[in-house]
Amino acid sequence: MGGTLGLLGGGGSILTVPILVYLLGIPPTQATGWSLLVVGLTAAVGALGPLRAGLIPLRTAALFAIPSIALTFTTRRLILPALPEVLLQTSGLLLTKDLALMLLFAVVMLVAAWRMIRPAPLREVAPGPPDALRLGLQGAATGLIAGLVGAGGGFLIVPALVLLAGLPMKNAVGTSLLIIALQSLIGFLGDLGAGQAVNWELLLPLVGCALVGVLAGNRLARSLSGRGLKVAFGWFVLGMGTLIVLVEII
């Protein structure tokens, strides 16, 4: 996960929940919360370089980040704990909270995969005052998704920053990493406030491995084609998202 994030500047965080659920056997509700810590710390490391280089406009970041953080925290602290374990039950259907979260996560994976395989052209607009209202609404929507599925949503944040705030792509990527770091780490605090158990002995080594992967991926990215890697990773995510749907339904 960290290596992919370092290589591509985004997208790798979407692997965290499948790693926690299918490889480590963590229940989905817990996994989406633990994922926020892993994602937040790795994104924070990735944001340090752009922040030091002055590539992150803090006012624009705040317009997006404040509603995004608020929705991520509220979702983890209040909305998820209030949901019943069984959302819907009929004679032929049992929809639990964990199943709903994994299916929603799979949908997010499929959308992210499509954006990596067939990216919509982003025409950078002339610099000017950002569209604060639309930027804030996009931030709130991204925060809700991040709170539910434990992924940062960089595939939603970067286009919003380019199209609604007029940021050049290199500024948008760095700003996206800062927003992801803040919303994810504060969202994780919502989990702690809601009394979710955390296995630090399992989680901290995973964070350490992810951070090593980010640094290694950053070094490797200098000699590889980012576009080709992103398309290949998009197909991988597409296959994994499809597999999650099949596994959870069957």
- Give the pLDDT score at 109: 86
- Give the pLDDT score at 71: 93
Model pTM?
0.82
Residue 201 confidence (pLDDT) above 80: yes
- Residue 176 and residue 64: Cα distance in Å, rounded? 9
146: region left, alpha or beta (phi > 0 left; psi from -120 to 50 alpha): alpha
**Looking at beta carbons, which pairs linking 192-199 to residues 24 or more positions away fall under 8 Å?**
193/77, 194/76, 194/77, 194/78, 194/80, 194/81, 195/81, 196/29, 196/30, 196/33, 197/30, 198/34
- Give the pLDDT score at 38: 87
Q: How confident is the model at residue 225 (pLDDT cuts 50, 70, 90)?
A: low
- Give the pLDDT score at 45: 83
* Average predicted confidence (pLDDT) for the chain: 84
Residue 202 confidence (pLDDT) above 60: yes
- Where is mean pLDDT largest: 12-21, 149-158, 187-196, 231-240? 187-196
Residue 124 confidence (pLDDT) above 60: no
Residue 218 confidence (pLDDT) above 80: no
